[in-house]
Amino acid sequence: MASIASDIKEVEVMNDSDLKDGENTVLRSRVSNSYFCAVYLKSSMVEGVLSHDGRIVCPWHGACFNVQTGDIEDAPGLDSLWSFAATVKDGKIVVKASEKEVQSKIGRIVAKPRSPKEPTKETVVIVGGGSGGIHTTESLRMNGYEGSIVMISEENYAPIDRTKLSKGLVDDVEKVQWRKPEELKKDFGSVTKVNTSAQTVTTSAGSNIKYDHLVLAPGAKPKKIPIDGSELEGVLTLRTISDTKSITSA
């Protein structure tokens, strides 16, 4: 992966003999006798599962990455790993990396929104502002789609990493948003009607949005256990920022 920073450093991290093929430690992996270094959310991946082909599974939520390229290969994660070159010199594994990249949480250049000056070729409407919606948005941009993308969500903030809500009951949306609101074209509200003949969706605000391609990614809502007492005050589910606030204030 190409570096975006100029503060490149070479650091000896361990002895070559300490890492066997198929093993990985906090940052270092050995796959087919080649060495790779990767960082995920500034955390240890030592408890993750590393396959022979370089696929590592995060021990927290099952997100999968390729340690050789840093690319994410399976949800619920969105951002790739920073993957750094590693070589063996005089029996030592030496990692060449940028300090800024090591400290960054995003392992690739973020897909940019379409410039308003560019002519709109066609429009993709995404119903849902969750994991499916943001993955669709970034995949379209990274694969060369230059048309308009409109995301419609009843949550009044940009897509969030829901897995973080349960870790510390985070109620500050800026700490869990995958992307800043200004990086997305988003309508808040719910979709009340889809007209496949006219290729339009109608929102709860009464607006009609024309689409060329429609992606339905509404996600799901937590289901309470159907037992006596499940509707009592203080029995709560967790999915949104408002749910977190309800729990912390209970």
Q: What are phi and psi of 57, to 5 degrees?
A: -105, 125
SS3 call for 40: strand
> Do 237 and 222 contact (CB within 8 A), yes or no?
yes
> Do 159 and 134 contact (CB within 8 A), yes or no?
yes
Round to whole Å and give the CA distance between 130 and 133.
Answer: 5
Q: Where are the domains of the chain?
A: 8-103, 110-250
pLDDT tens-digit map of 133-143:
998 998 888 88
Q: What are phi and psi of 165, to 5 degrees?
A: -60, -40
Round to whole Å and give the CA distance between 152 and 187.
Answer: 5
User: 41 vs 12, 121, 237, CA distance in Å?
Assistant: 22, 36, 26
Would you state the pLDDT for residue 24?
52
Residues near 1 by beta carbon (within 8 Å), at least 6 away in sequence: 69, 70, 82, 83, 107, 108
Would you state the pLDDT for residue 38?
54
Residue spans of the chain under pLDDT 50: 1-4, 25-27, 42
Would you state the pLDDT for residue 136?
92
Peptide bond between residue 76 and the one before it cis (omega within 30 degrees of 0): yes
Would you state the pLDDT for residue 1?
41
CATH of domain 8-103: 2.102.10.10
Round to whole Å and give the CA distance between 148 and 129.
Answer: 16
Would you state the pLDDT for residue 29?
55
Would you state the pLDDT for residue 237?
93
Would you state the pLDDT for residue 2?
41
Other CB atoms closer than 10 Å to residue 14's CB: what's the count?
16
Would you state the pLDDT for residue 164?
86
CATH topology of domain 110-250: FAD/NAD(P)-binding domain (3.50.50)
pLDDT tens-digit map of 167-183:
888 889 988 888 877 76
Would you state the pLDDT for residue 19?
64
> Do 218 and 140 contact (CB within 8 A), yes or no?
no
